[in-house]
Structure 1
C-alpha cells in the first residue's frame, strides 16, 4: 500500500524542520494548502513519535542543525569571509574603538586589524584575541565572562557588565543566520542578548554574513536589529533577500571575492 497524503505531508513538515529549524503553524498551513488544525494534528503525530519538539505556535525539530564548532566553521566559505573581513577593516579609521563578536568572520577581521597603527579592539572571541595577542601597538580588551566552547567566545552577566563600561565607534557582528523579518539567529538567548548590547553601545553596526546565512534560521533565539545597520555579504546572496533587508532599513554591501565591495 502506498503512503497516504497525511504521511507525505508529515514527511514534508519534518524535512522543512530539519532544513530550516523553526516553522509556524500558519506558515506550514499556507505552504501545504491545508487548515491550521490539520497541521496541528500532523505536529501532534510527529511529536508523539519523538521526531519533533513542539513550541508555542510551531514546531522545532529535535535534530535540526547541531551547532558546529568554531574549528569547523573556520573552513566554511573561507574566501568569502576573508573578502568580507577586508571590506569591514576598510571602514575602520586609526584611533577608533571597535568591538568584535565571536566567530570565524570576526576572527578574519581581527587579522585585518593588525595593520592599524592605533586602535582599541574589544572582543568576546578567543580566536580574535589570539590574532591580536602579539599586536602590542594596539589596545586589546577581552570582555571576559563564561566561555561557550562551541563558539570559543564569552557570554553572560560578566561580559555584559564589561560592555556597560565601554562605547564603540563600530560593532562587527557575526550570525548563525540572519533574516530581515526577525534579526540575527543564534543558538541561545545569552548570545542574542549580548549582540543587542553590542549594537546599543556602537555608533555604527555591521553584520558580517556570507550568502548562505541569509534567510537561514537554524535555531530559535533572535537578536533584534537597530533601525539603521549594514549587512556585509558576498555575491552568493539572493537578490530578493537583499531587497527585503533594504526594505527594513539595512544598507547592503555585496563583496565580490577578490574584488572591491559594491552596494547591493
Structure 2
C-alpha cells in the first residue's frame, strides 16, 4: 500500500481497524510502508476525530458508538443539565477551591458560578474557561495540556503535573456513561487516567450525569469510583438502577428539570 496520500491512508487505517479490531503501530507501518512516527500522527488525528480509540501501541475501532463532539452534545437534555448544574452550584461554599471536568453539564455548572460567591476554580475545560473568563469573583486556574478537540478538554502529562500541585474541596466530573459496577465510562484512556487523578486530589467527588447516561457502557475505558461519592442525575432515572448505585456506596441525588 505504498504511495497512498495521507487522507487515503487514514481511511484505510479506519477500515482495517473496523475489520480486524486491533492493529499495532509496527504492523500498520509495515502495511503502508511508512515510518512508525507517521502512523502515530495518523492515529492521533483519527482519535481526535473520534474515528478510532487508541490503545497502548496501536488502534482499536469505535464500532457502534462513535464519540460525539461537545457541540453535538450541547443540546441534549438541556433542561436536565441546567437543573443539575444549579443544584451543584448551591452546594459550593464561599472561599472553596473546586475542580471542574470537561463536558456540557459541568460547563453548565461553570455558567452558574459566574454570579456566585468568591471561589477558586481549576479546570481542564475550554467551555468552563470561556464561561468564567469575565467572572471577577472567581479566581481561575487553567490546567493546560493537550487539547482533545472532541471534548474541548485538556489531557496528558502536563495536565496531570498541574493537578499534582493542587488539592480541592470538591470535584465535578462528567462521563460518557456511568454504571454501578464499573464506574465512569470514557472514550479515551487519557481521560480515565486524568479523572482518576482528579478524584484522588479532591475531598468530595460528584458525577453529573443525566439519566440517559446511567447504565451505559459505550466504550471500553473505565474509571473506578472511590468508596464515597455523589451521583447527581435527573428524576427520569430508573429507580431500580439508582438503588444499585446506592447499594455500592454512592449517594444519589435526583433533580427535576428546570
TM-score class, shorter? 0.7 to 0.9
1:62 to partner: Cα distance = 4.8
Paired residues of 1:121 and 1:138 also in contact (CA < 8 A)? yes
- Pairing of 1:227-242 with structure 2 (within 5 A): 227-242=227-242
Whether 1:53 aligns to 2:17 is no
Quick one: distance in 2 between partners of 1:192 and 1:199?
11
Conserved 8 A contact 2:163-2:197: yes
> Is this contact kept in 2: 1:51–1:62, CA < 8 A?
no
After TM superposition, give the deviation of residue 137 of structure 1 in Å.
Answer: 2.5
Q: CA deviation at 1:228?
A: 0.1
- What's the TM-score once normalised by structure 2's chain length? 0.77
Q: Render the CA deviation track for 1:145-200: whole Å, top value 9, x for unaligned.
A: 00000000000000000000000000000000000100100011110111111111
CA contact (8 A) 1:172 1:205 kept: yes
CA distance in 2, matches of 1:195, 1:63: 24
Distance 1:125 1:62, change over 3 A: closer
1:121-152 residue CA offsets vs partner (Å, 9 max, x unmatched): 00000000000001122100110000000000
Q: Determine the C-alpha separation between the residues in 2 that align with 1:241 and 1:151.
A: 27
CA contact (8 A) 2:93 2:117 kept: no
Work out the CA distance in 2 between the residues paired with 1:138 and 1:256: 28
TM-score with structure 1 length normalisation?
0.75
Matching of residues 29-48 of structure 1 within 5 Å: none
| Other-structure match for 1:72 | 72
Q: Which moved further from structure 2: 128-137 or 225-234? A: 128-137
- Matched residue, 2:39: none
Please give the secondary structure, in 1, of the residue aligned with 2:84.
helix
Aligned to 1:90, what secondary structure does the other structure show?
A: helix
Structure 1 residue 52 displacement after superposition: 7.6
Structure 1 consecutive aligned stretches of length 4 or more whose deviation exceeds 3 Å: 50-54
Correspondence for 2:111 = 111
Who is 1:96 aligned against?
Answer: 96
Tell me how far apart the structure 1 counterparts of residues 136 and 77 of structure 2 sit (CA, whole Å): 30
| Unpaired stretches in structure 1, ≥5 consecutive residues | 1-47, 55-59, 259-264
Residue number in structure 1 paired with 2:169: 169
Task: For residue 236 of structure 1, report the CA deviation from its aligned partner.
Answer: 1.5
Q: Distance in 1 between matches of 2:141 and 2:246?
A: 33
Question: Cα RMSD between the aligned structures?
Answer: 1.8
CA distance in 2: counterparts of 1:51 and 1:256, whole angstroms: 44
For 2:255 and 2:117, the matched residues in 1 are separated by: 25
Aligned to 1:245: 245
Number of matched pairs? 206
SS in 1 for 2:196: helix
- Conserved 8 A contact 1:204-1:229: yes
